[in-house]
Amino acid sequence: MDSNLKIAIVEDNDDLRALLMQDLCMAGYFVQGVESAEQLDEIFSINHFDVLIADVNLPGESGFAIAKRYKRLNSHLTVVMLTARTSTEDKVRGYESGADLYLTKPVSNIELLAVVGSISRHISAQNAAPEVKLNLKNLTLTGTKTVDLNKQEVAIVKALSEPQSSNLPYYQLLEICNEPVDETAKAGFEVRITRLRKKFVEIGVDKSLRALRGNGYQLLVNVHIVL
């Protein structure tokens, strides 16, 4: 079990949501639960989640629509539909919407934990990445190979790799790069992040920087600083 696995649950039945959260929390996972798409957007704006467990019949945006939207935003997110809708048509629609798994209610505690455990093992295997080193003197980033960084890229990675700031808002990152805090600089910064992601991929790290829904970026890999 990966105790760092983060799970979001959107379920409008208060009792069921509380029970699901209790079972998963007791198993050691980080879990947050909400009752609607609006609340889900709020918790996703401030946290990175690996798994989304979604009911279908929700107030406002349906679970199908939520799954489709979140998969479009993050293809690495594992989506589990958990619903009383058992028809073949609904299951097909769920998978076409982006669900990775489709579970029908009622689901047992044992089955749910087995499913999440399987997801956890799969994600852990996918996330196995080389040790990453940032050399402040040579301005290089090293994993399975070494790539050169410019001074601003070094500043970005260094700031995001510090324990107290694994995620930072745009304005702080722009200030770190000595850029003005305005929309033009923000657009240019997004281009810089795209280039930086490509350099992480070059050294063997596929998942490196995550956008925080208009609020900034989060570093998804541990970086060792070499002075």
pLDDT tens by residue, 166-200: 678 888 888 888 888 888 888 888 889 999 999 99
Q: Sorting pLDDT into bands at 50, 70 and 90, what band is 163? A: low
Over pLDDT 90: what percentage of the chain?
A: 61
Give the pLDDT mean for 140-160. 93
Q: Sorting pLDDT into bands at 50, 70 and 90, what band is 2? A: low
Whole-model pTM over 0.75 = no
pLDDT, one tens digit per residue, over 110-137 is 999 999 999 988 877 666 667 899 999 9
Say if residue 148's pLDDT is above 60.
yes
Average pLDDT taken over every residue of the chain = 89
Q: Indicate the domain borders of the chain.
A: 6-126, 132-226
pLDDT at residue 153, rounded to an integer: 94
Give the pLDDT mean for 76-101. 93
Backbone phi, psi, residue 152, to 5°: -70, -40
- Beta-bridged to residue 78, according to DSSP, are 51
Q: CATH number of 6-126: 2.40.110.10, 3.90.1150.10, 1.10.630.10, 3.40.50.2300?
A: 3.40.50.2300
Give the pLDDT mean for 5-20. 95
pLDDT at residue 46, rounded to an integer: 87
**2/55: higher pLDDT:** 55
Pairing relationship of beta strands 132-135 and 223-226 according to DSSP bridges: parallel
Fold of 132-226: Arc Repressor Mutant, subunit A (1.10.10)
Backbone phi, psi, residue 187, to 5°: -65, -40
pLDDT at residue 19, rounded to an integer: 95
pLDDT at residue 78, rounded to an integer: 93
Say if residue 162's pLDDT is above 70.
yes
